[in-house]
Amino acid sequence: MKILGIVLLVVGLLGLAYFGYQAWQDSESFNLLGVDVAVSKADWMPVIVSALVAVLGYVLSRVKR
C-alpha cells in the first residue's frame, strides 16, 4: 500500500502542476475602472482530480501495516 500511495502522490502532484499551469494559461485579465480582473476559461476538473489523487496517495503512503 505504501508504494501505491507514493506512486499516486507523485502522479497527482505532476498532474496538479501540469493541469494547474494549463489552467493558468487559459485565463485572461483586463483592466476595469483601474482594477485588474481575471477571467478563467479553463476546465478545472483535471486540477481537482489531480489534487484528490495526490491526497489519496498521501493518505495511502501513511497507512501503517
**Can you give the pLDDT of all 65 residues of the chain as single tens digits?**
889 999 999 999 999 999 999 988 887 777 878 788 777 787 889 999 999 999 999 999 998 76
Phi, psi dihedral angles at 61 (to 5 degrees): -75, -20
pTM score of the predicted model: 0.78
Return the C-alpha cell found at 32: 476595469
Instruction: Answer whether 2's CB lies under 8 Å from 63's CB.
Output: yes
SS3 category, 41? coil
